[in-house]
Copies of this chain bind each other. A is one copy, B any other.
Amino acid sequence: MTLAETDRVRDLKSRLSAFMDAHVIPAETAYSHHLATAPDRWSIPPVMETLKERARAEGLWNLWCPYPEFGAGLNNLDYAPLAEIMGRSLIGPEVFNCSAPDTGNMEVFIKYATKPQQEKWLTPLLAGEIRSAFCMTEPAVASSDATNVEASILRDGDDYVVNGRKWWSSGANDPRCKILIVMGKNDPSAERHKQQSMILVPIDTPGVTVLRSLNVFGADDAPHGHAEINFDNVRVPAENILLGEGRGFEIAQGRLGPGRIHHCMRLIGGAQRALEMMCARATKRTPFGKPLADQGVVRQQIALSACEIEQGRLLAMAAADKMDRLGNKEARDLIGMAKIVIPQMAQTVIDRAIQLHGAAGVCQDTVLAGQFAYARTIRIADGPDEVHQDSLARQMIKRFGTQ
């Protein structure tokens, strides 16, 4: 057993960190400025495409992708520290083609799509030319229970016809978003986890209407957004089905394991940056005549944050390692733990950083408010805290209960 890093990971960490410090963090202001002043908030700040080109040129591209034929071929444990570094900036993951929901969607294409489906959609996604969205959550039902999904995907001749209302389809407001992966029911009479299918719906298909963008604590997360979308008799060819009818739940499960842990890794980066910002602010700011760093309460907040981040980081690494060694299913206890612990940890740490930054902490002048909102939503997305707690407890009771 050793926690020492491999040479490849050490090299990637070092180059990625340098890239972040030299190019990404400094670009945050230009990015925000574009959005604040552009005639259309739903347009892409040019700096993003510049950064993507540079990252790709330096080989810092598709690092998330464990399949060597499609990407970097790193396992989860190797990717963990890299995702953390990217997560230091909210615009970081996209620069390296490692942002949600595209990573999860690309994973779906790699694992479950046909060759023609891959050629049409996976290839441009891997190249960072288009973006995608995942349409699962619905406004009318409790989506913490995926079997509640009510959208329908019904066979009609050579086509499937999709009807329903989805929301929180993150990224679907992005003008580059071309393809939607839609979950719906095709057979309500089937066994509870076999009723759902997933299907590919090009966003320009007639009947697809992006109704609005949902705010997160008032922020619209432009230019990606969180879309509410209506599907009104949307007709797509039958070959657009993924894996086959009734396989939707299975695909969702396969997608969520890595997706959850990727969010956790990024959030560790957000929390770590908040900690570093606290330290910097504590040495610079001097209310009542001495630096904040001289106040015991400030130091305690810093110390507790450091402890909690380190523990979150180790938990994400342990989950990643178990996924690598024993598979996602065996690792579901640690994945669940990471999903329970890390978003809440990030929320707590960032909340402390906000408090230390005072009024500057809640407004657009720092990254803290945005990172806070990200952490807060991940406590709800991909299964709310409570669902993961419940599932973890059942595993523990099964393991240690008497009978």
Contacts and interface: CB of A to CB of B under 8 A. Distances in A.
Interface of A: 1-6, 9, 77-78, 137, 139, 141-145, 148, 167-168, 214-220, 226, 275-276, 279-280, 282-288, 292-293, 295-300, 302-304, 306-307, 310-312, 314-315, 317-318, 321-322, 325, 333-334, 337, 340-341, 354-355, 358-365, 369-370, 372-373, 376-377, 379-381, 384-386, 388-390, 392-394, 396-397, 399-403
Contact of A296 (B219, B296, B354, B379): B296
A396 B279 contact: yes
Nearest to A5: B1
Contact of A283 (B167, B280, B300, B402): B402
A287 B145 contact: yes
26 contacts: A1-B321, A3-B322, A137-B359, A215-B362, A215-B363, A216-B363, A217-B217, A217-B373, A218-B370, A219-B219, A226-B363, A279-B396, A279-B399, A296-B297, A297-B390, A299-B389, A300-B386, A307-B315, A311-B311, A311-B315, A314-B317, A314-B318, A355-B384, A355-B386, A359-B377, A359-B381
Contacts of A218: 215-220, 364, 369-370, 373
B4 A9 contact: no
A213 to B, nearest CB: 9
Nearest to A341: B307
A105 to B, nearest CB: 19
Contact of A217 (B275, B280, B314, B369): B369
The interface centre, meaning the residue of A216, A377, A401 with most chain B CB atoms within 10 A of its CB, is A401
Contact of A302 (B215, B219, B380, B393): B393
